[in-house]
């Protein structure tokens, strides 16, 4: 009888082995930017409680090129974060049925995009109009 000696391959660097994993890591890393942005915004709200001068100083600081680059990156990360989540949402939510017919995954994804664009347009309208 032959000797059994099962060999386990190492996992080190697994996420570099396949473009799919690389994109997954990119998707997950967007959370870092979203967190930093949220903290930064929270700080802005905090300066409001300190007083007008503090808030305006914070606003002035945001004009710095470093902040502008950060915001551009955070926006890109937030969009990737949102879009990739829209795409996986049909997997995370219970299967939807209209009568006996299953609502297709593609429809679920599309409806989210439509809502996203409509809400974004309204908010942009309010922000620019107001």
Binding site for another protein (CB under 8 A): 2-9, 11, 14-15, 17-18, 20-21, 24, 28, 88, 90-95, 100, 102
- Would you say 9 or 128 has its CB closer to another protein? 9
- Would you say 21 or 46 has its CB closer to another protein? 21
CB 21 within 8 A of CB 14: yes
* Closest CB 97 distance from another protein, rounded Å: 8
Nearest-10 crossing angle of helices 19-50, 65-92: 120
- Would you say 11 or 127 has its CB closer to another protein? 11
Return contacts of 34-41, CB within 8 angstroms, 24+ apart. Answer: 34/74, 34/77, 34/78, 34/81, 36/70, 36/74, 37/71, 37/74, 37/78
* Closest CB 27 distance from another protein, rounded Å: 9
- Would you say 23 or 117 has its CB closer to another protein? 23
Q: Is the dihedral angle over the CA atoms 65, 30, 27, 96 positive or is it negative?
A: negative
Output the six-digit token pair for 88.
């996986």
* Closest CB 15 distance from another protein, rounded Å: 7
* Closest CB 23 distance from another protein, rounded Å: 10
């Amino acid at each position: 009888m032959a000797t059994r000696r099962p060999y386990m391959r190492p996992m080190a660097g697994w996420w570099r082995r396949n473009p799919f994993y690389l994109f997954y890591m990119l998707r997950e890393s967007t959370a870092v930017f979203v967190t930093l942005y949220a903290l930064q915004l929270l700080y802005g709200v905090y300066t409001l409680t300190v007083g007008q001068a503090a808030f305006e100083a914070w606003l002035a600081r945001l004009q710095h090129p470093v902040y502008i680059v950060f915001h551009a990156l955070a926006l890109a990360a937030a969009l990737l974060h949102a879009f990739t989540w829209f795409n996986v949402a049909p997997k995370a939510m219970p299967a939807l049925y209209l009568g006996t017919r299953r609502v297709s995954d593609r429809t679920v994804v599309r409806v989210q995009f439509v809502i996203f664009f409509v809400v974004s347009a309204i908010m942009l309208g309010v922000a620019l109009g107001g």
